[in-house]
Structures are given as structure tokens and as C-alpha cells.
Amino acid sequence: MTIIITYFVHGTTTDNENGISTGWNHGGLSKPGREQCIELKTLIKNIEFDVVFSSDLKRAIDSAQLTFGNRHIPIIEDERLRECDYGDLNGADSKKVKSMAMSCIDNPFPNGESHKDVEKRVRNLLEDIHMKYQNKNIAVVSHKAPQLALDVIIKGKNWKEAIKEDWRLKNPKEWRPGWNYTFG
């Protein structure tokens, strides 16, 4: 019994465009971000999903609604899919947040959480998904850190590998439409 997760990062935000790491701030989609979600709807129109899980942060909810809102499948908002809480650095310059990434694998960002805290949240969600959604095709709309957590949990990477191999390092202003993860 397997579960297929297709993971979508929310559309580009105004913070992304301005080099800001939004973290637990809600953030808003930019015009290109809304266009990406509408394009994504076309790209995946022939893929059947049983359920959509979305972070409860506005940028992810808006992305999920724009992409999946016309389908007759549930969209479940879940705070376990939130971006990493950068604490004092929510809304800070992305370069500063990125420069601290390796030191915040086990240790939290100042007044925030660590990457392993994100992993714990995502593991908890995957346990619930495993119990309730066997043999289902699931869409997830979320953020960078939960996706890296899936690379750690499902693909067996360690956090240093996941961070170093993250496609966003080479393409910081690029958006990509989806990744598949299989578990069960």
C-alpha cells in the first residue's frame, strides 16, 4: 500500500521578489505568483488527487485555492505544513536566514524553531496521512522547509544534504511546479 504525494511550493510572493524570508508571516502572492498557480492548474488538470493538504499560511492557502479550488476535492489546511519559524528573523533578509541554515538544523533560529522541529511536524503529519490515506494520491501545497523535511524523511537525506542540494540555492527567484514522493 503506497501513498503518492505531489508537493507544490506556493506561488512566488512579493517577499520572494524582494529577497525576504517570510517564515511564519502570512505573505501575499505576487502577480507572477498568482499566474504560476493558474498555469499549474492547467499543467496538472489530468492528474486526479484525492485530497489537498495546505499550510495554513495565507500564501499557501491562496495558492491551493487558485490551483485546486475548482475541483471537487477537499483542501485541508494544516499548521504542521508551515514554513520554518525563523523567530526574530521572520520577514528578514533572505541572505541572513540562508547564512544561518546549517547552524539551525538542531538549534532553533533566535526565538523560532530548528529544521529538526519542522521535520518532527512533518513526520507527525505523515503518520496521520499513512493511517487515513492508503493508496491515495495527495497534493501538498507548502513551503521550502517542509519540502526539505520530506527529502530527509522519505528520500533518506540528512539535513546538510537536503539544504546543500536544494534547487533554490542556484535559482533563488525561480519557482518550480512539483515533486513526487512515494511512501507507505
CA distance 64 to 60: 6
Indicate if the pLDDT at residue 44 is higher than 90.
yes
Residue-averaged pLDDT of the chain: 95
Residue with the three cell numbers 546549517: 102
Q: What's the whole-number mean pLDDT along residues 151-173?
A: 90
Residue with the three cell numbers 533566535: 110
pLDDT at position 156, please? 97
pTM: 0.95
Q: What's the whole-number mean pLDDT along residues 148-161?
A: 97
Structural domain range at position 177: 3-183
- What single-letter amino acid sits at 62? D
The length of the chain in residues reads 184
Nearest to 3 by CA among 136, 113, 106: 136
39 alpha-carbon distance from chain centroid: 18
Find the CATH number of the domain harbouring 105: 3.40.50.1240
117 pLDDT tier (thresholds 50, 70, 90)? very high
CA distance 56 to 70: 19
Specify the number of domains making up the chain: 1
CA distance 109 to 84: 9
83 alpha-carbon distance from chain centroid: 7
Indicate if the pLDDT at residue 176 is higher than 90.
no
The secondary element (H helix, E strand) that includes residue 177 is none
For the beta carbon of residue 97, count every other beta carbon within 10 angstroms.
Answer: 21
Q: Are 37 and 9 in contact (CB under 8 A)?
A: no
